[in-house]
Structure 1
Amino acid sequence: MAAKLILTDRWGNPVERQTLTKEVAAPTISGVRSPLSGYPGDGLNPVRLANILRAADQGDPVEYLELAETIEERDPHFLGVIGTRKRAISQLDITVEPASDAALDVKIADMVRDWLKREELQQEVFHILDCISKGYSATEIVWDTSESQYMPGKLIWRDPRHFRFERQDLSTPRLLEEGGQEVPLPAFRFIFADIPAKSGLPLRSGLSRVAAWGWMFKAFTARDWAIFTQTYGQPLRVGKWAPGASEEDKATLFRAVANIAGDCAAIIPDTMSIDFVETKSVGASIDLYEKRIAHLDQQISKAVLGQTATTDAIAGGHAVGQEHRLVQEDIETADAMALAAILNRDLIRPWIQLEHGPQKRYPRLKIARPKAEDLKLIADSLDVLVRNGVEIEEAEARARFGWAQPKPGARLLRPVSSGNQPATTDPTDPSGRKGGIEASSAKIKGGAGRSGGDVALQQEGVSTAIFSGGYQIGALAERLGAEAQPVVVAMIEQIEAMLGAAGSLEEFRAMLEEGFGQAETQRLANRLAAAMLSAEFAGREDALDG
Structure 2
Amino acid sequence: MGKKKNRSQAFAEDPRRNLPTNARSLIADVSNDITVPYFSGVLSPVDDTLIQQGNGKGLKIYDEIERDTHAGSMLQKRKGRLIARAWEVQPGGDRPIDKEAADFCEQRLRKLPFDQATEDMLDATLKGFSVLETVWDRDGKNIVPVALKDIDQRRIVFGRDWRPRLLTWTAITEGIELPERKFMVHRVGVKGNNPYGLGLGSSLFWPVLFKREGIAFWLHFLEKFAGPTVVGKTPYGTLSDEQGKLLQTLQRAQTASAITVPIGTDVEFLEASRSGSVTYEQFLEYWDRQISIAVTGETLTTQAGSAGGNRALGEVHQEELDTRADRDGDLASGTLKRDLLTWMVEYNFPGAAVPDVWRVRQKNEKAEAETRKTKAEAAESGAKALRTIVAESARFDDDAVAREYIVSFAITDNLSDRTIDAMVAARADFAGGAVTEEPDIFPGGDPAAFSASRLKKKR
TM-score when scaled to structure 1?
Answer: 0.54
Does residue 219 (structure 1) correspond to residue 212 (structure 2)? The answer is: yes
Q: What runs of 5+ residues in structure 2 fail to find an aligned partner?
A: 1-46, 370-414, 420-429, 438-459
Distance 1:50 1:243 in 2: 59
Q: Which residue of 1 aligns with 2:180?
A: 187
Deviates most, 228-237 or 249-258 = 228-237
How far did residue 202 of structure 1 move? Answer: 5.4
How far did residue 132 of structure 1 move? Answer: 0.8
Q: Which residue of 2 aligns with 1:72?
A: 66
Q: Which residue of 1 aligns with 2:360?
A: 368
SS of the residue corresponding to residue 150 of structure 2 reads: strand
How far did residue 194 of structure 1 move? Answer: 1.1
Q: Which residue of 2 aligns with 1:305?
A: 296
How far did residue 65 of structure 1 move? Answer: 1.9
CA contact 2:112–2:147 (8 Å) conserved in 1: no
How far did residue 55 of structure 1 move? Answer: 7.7
How far did residue 225 of structure 1 move? Answer: 1.7
Distance 2:77 2:175 in 1: 34
Q: Across the two proteins, how many residue pairs are aligned to each other? A: 328
How far did residue 462 of structure 1 move? Answer: 8.3
How far did residue 131 of structure 1 move? Answer: 0.8
Distance 1:325 1:372 in 2: 11
CA contact 1:143–1:151 (8 Å) conserved in 2: yes
CA contact 2:181–2:343 (8 Å) conserved in 1: yes
CA contact 1:162–1:175 (8 Å) conserved in 2: yes
SS of the residue corresponding to residue 235 of structure 2 reads: coil
Distance 1:155 1:162 in 2: 17
Cα distance, 1:520–1:119 mapped onto 2, change above 3 Å? farther
Cα distance, 1:372–1:209 mapped onto 2, change above 3 Å? closer
CA contact 2:78–2:325 (8 Å) conserved in 1: yes
Does residue 98 (structure 1) correspond to residue 91 (structure 2)? The answer is: yes
Q: Which residue of 2 aligns with 1:144?
A: 137
CA contact 1:196–1:205 (8 Å) conserved in 2: yes
Distance 2:255 2:195 in 1: 52
The counterpart of 2:151, out of the listed 151, 155, 158, is 158
Distance 2:320 2:191 in 1: 17
The counterpart of 1:278, out of the listed 271, 294, 310, is 271
CA contact 1:239–1:272 (8 Å) conserved in 2: yes
How far did residue 53 of structure 1 move? Answer: 3.0
Structure 1 stretches of at least 4 aligned residues deviating more than 4 Å after TM superposition: 49-52, 197-200, 372-375, 459-463, 518-521
Distance 1:291 1:53 in 2: 31
Does residue 177 (structure 1) correspond to residue 171 (structure 2)? The answer is: no
CA contact 1:132–1:197 (8 Å) conserved in 2: no
Distance 2:303 2:119 in 1: 24
CA contact 2:131–2:153 (8 Å) conserved in 1: yes
Listed as ranges, the matches of 1:351-366 within 5 Å are 351-359=344-352, 361-366=353-358
The counterpart of 1:245, out of the listed 238, 261, 286, is 238
How far did residue 307 of structure 1 move? Answer: 2.2
Distance 2:331 2:81 in 1: 14
Q: Cα deviation per residue 1:297-327 (whole Å; 9 max; x = unaligned)?
A: 1111111112212554242211211122222
CA contact 1:196–1:202 (8 Å) conserved in 2: no
Distance 1:304 1:137 in 2: 18
The counterpart of 1:54, out of the listed 52, 55, 60, is 52
Q: Which residue of 2 aligns with 1:530?
A: none
Distance 1:197 1:132 in 2: 11
Cα distance, 1:318–1:51 mapped onto 2, change above 3 Å? closer
Q: Cα deviation per residue 1:165-209 (whole Å; 9 max; x = unaligned)?
A: 33x68x553212342251233211111011229888455612222
Listed as ranges, the matches of 1:488-527 within 5 Å are none
Cα distance, 1:348–1:340 mapped onto 2, change above 3 Å? same
How far did residue 358 of structure 1 move? Answer: 4.3
Cα distance, 1:204–1:263 mapped onto 2, change above 3 Å? farther
Cα distance, 1:182–1:461 mapped onto 2, change above 3 Å? farther
How far did residue 460 of structure 1 move? Answer: 5.3
How far did residue 258 of structure 1 move? Answer: 1.9
Q: Which residue of 2 aligns with 1:400?
A: none
Q: Which residue of 1 aligns with 2:249?
A: 256
Listed as ranges, the matches of 1:364-513 within 5 Å are 364-371=356-363
Cα distance, 1:280–1:126 mapped onto 2, change above 3 Å? same
Structure 2: which amino acid aligns with 1:294?
E
Distance 2:119 2:418 in 1: 52
How far did residue 70 of structure 1 move? Answer: 2.6
Distance 1:357 1:139 in 2: 24
Cα distance, 1:71–1:372 mapped onto 2, change above 3 Å? closer
How far did residue 281 of structure 1 move? Answer: 4.2
CA contact 1:135–1:207 (8 Å) conserved in 2: yes
How far did residue 353 of structure 1 move? Answer: 0.8
Distance 1:231 1:199 in 2: 52
Distance 1:336 1:257 in 2: 63
CA contact 2:50–2:202 (8 Å) conserved in 1: no
Deviates most, 213-222 or 124-133 = 213-222
Cα distance, 1:247–1:203 mapped onto 2, change above 3 Å? farther
CA contact 1:197–1:207 (8 Å) conserved in 2: no
SS of the residue corresponding to residue 259 of structure 2 reads: coil
Cα distance, 1:274–1:83 mapped onto 2, change above 3 Å? same
Q: Cα deviation per residue 1:369-425 (whole Å; 9 max; x = unaligned)?
A: 1446899xxxxxxxxxxxxxxxxxxxxxxxxxxxxxxxxxxxxxxxxxxxxxxxxxx
Distance 2:49 2:258 in 1: 48
CA contact 1:310–1:325 (8 Å) conserved in 2: no
Q: Which residue of 1 aligns with 2:287?
A: 296
Cα distance, 1:85–1:244 mapped onto 2, change above 3 Å? same
Q: What runs of 5+ residues in structure 1 fail to find an aligned partner?
A: 1-48, 376-458, 464-482, 484-517, 522-546
Distance 1:63 1:340 in 2: 31
Distance 1:311 1:280 in 2: 28
Kindly report the root-mean-square deviation, in angstroms, between the aligned alpha carbons of the 2 structures. 3.4
How far did residue 238 of structure 1 move? Answer: 1.7
Cα distance, 1:354–1:312 mapped onto 2, change above 3 Å? farther
